Amino acid sequence: MDVAISLLVLSSLSQLVAPQAATQIPFRPTVEVISGDVRIFSRETLRLGCSVPVSYKSGWTFWWFRGSEKLPQTGQNLTLWNVNLNESGKYSCQGLRDSLLGTRKTLKSLPVEIDVDGGWAMLQAPAHSVLVGETLKLTCHLRMRLPLHETILYKDGIEVVRQNGHSQDFYLTNATLLDEGMYSCRPSWDMRGRTHSVISVSTPVHVLEVLTRPLLEIENQSNFQRERRMKLICHVQYNTHGPAPPLYYYFYKANNRLGSASSNNYMWVRQAPGQYSCRATVPVLDLSRWSETRDFGSPQP
């Protein structure tokens, strides 16, 4: 009897001290670069920060990850001292907080990719894609702080711009889709009566249209004998940096507008043969793109 009671007590104690799985909070923290850059020379220092929305109270612990590997650092900031090539990768963070209901944790943040360069020259390009019409800024860095007398910018191995003087920045105004490619730079400097130069590793530059050409889809084409309505869907890619101005859709049959502007990219209409198209527009940016016309034929007997 005593043995049975002892086993029951031990079982109850084990349930009391057993760690509970952390419950998940459905939001992501944000990783930002506090000092340094996402492209950095080896043996330099980089500092990342992990933040949660202000509306959430304090008392957070933060986990840091490089890829799927959990790092030993647990503070709100992650400092990489004298980085080496092995520390390149995608960094993310996750927030944890204890409460009366147990430990709660956030989703993992979206990753920030860090590229450690072991060379002597490095070309820094925008971390995000450049939009058509924007100014593309590229900066050619030299590991040593030496006065430059010439810097050359290359795209896909072909010289694009050559500039004299100490400036390390290149500005390509009014970017187009043709500006997308692999860029590198070659800085030159004089030292001890000789001219030296070195070329950087190529870095990609991506250019996107703010508003791509829409594609019109007509649903239920195979069911028009049973259905009296059909769904027009206007597919478009809308690229912005930061908050996006409102996007509106218009639908047409034989160039005659069907209904008024809508923030939805679809519209139900009565089935009828004819030529249909759609238009996506951003009034604030004075942008408007038309789809190709699609034929919707008469039902076959």
Mean pLDDT value of segment 39-49: 94
Tokens representing 170 are: 């290149």
Give the pLDDT band (50/70/90) at residue 161: very high
The pLDDT of residue 25 is: 80
What residue has token string 């043969």? 273
Q: Is the pLDDT of residue 5 over 70?
A: no
The pLDDT mean for the chain works out to 87
Residue 234 φ/ψ region, left for φ over 0, alpha for ψ in the -120 to 50 degree band, beta for the rest: beta
Tokens representing 205 are: 């530059």
The pLDDT of residue 57 is: 65
The pLDDT of residue 139 is: 94
Indicate the pairing of strand 181-191 with strand 148-155: antiparallel
Comparing 10-24, 63-77, 118-132, 169-183, which segment has the lowest mean pLDDT?
Answer: 10-24
Mean pLDDT value of segment 193-198: 89
Contact 154, 184 (CB under 8 A): yes
Please give the residue that has the higher pLDDT: either 223 or 13.
Answer: 223
Contact 276, 218 (CB under 8 A): yes
The pLDDT of residue 8 is: 44
Per cent of the chain over pLDDT 90 is: 65
Please give the residue that has the higher pLDDT: either 102 or 148.
Answer: 148
Mean pLDDT value of segment 199-222: 90
Condensed to tens digits (0 to 9), the pLDDT of residues 110-141 reads: 999 999 999 999 999 988 899 999 999 999 99
Q: Is the pLDDT of residue 236 over 50?
A: yes
Contact 244, 236 (CB under 8 A): no
Task: Show the DSSP H helices in 128-284 as ranges.
Answer: none
Per cent of the chain over pLDDT 70 is: 88
Residue 235 φ/ψ region, left for φ over 0, alpha for ψ in the -120 to 50 degree band, beta for the rest: beta
The pLDDT of residue 18 is: 43
Measured distance between the N- and C-terminal CA atoms of the chain, rounded to whole angstroms:
86
The pLDDT of residue 123 is: 95
The pLDDT of residue 46 is: 94
Contact 47, 136 (CB under 8 A): no
Q: Is the pLDDT of residue 223 over 80?
A: no
pTM of the model: 0.73
Mean pLDDT value of segment 89-108: 88
Q: Is the pLDDT of residue 108 over 90?
A: yes
The pLDDT of residue 226 is: 60
Mean pLDDT value of segment 269-294: 94
CA–CA separation, 291 vs 255, rounded Å? 12
Contact 38, 45 (CB under 8 A): no
Q: Which domains does the chain have, with CATH numbers?
A: 21-116 (2.60.40.10), 119-208 (2.60.40.10), 215-296 (2.60.40.10)
The pLDDT of residue 228 is: 79
> What DSSP string runs through 9-69?
HHHHHHHHHSPPPPEEES---EEEEEES-SEEETT--EEEEEE--TTS-S--EEEEEETTE
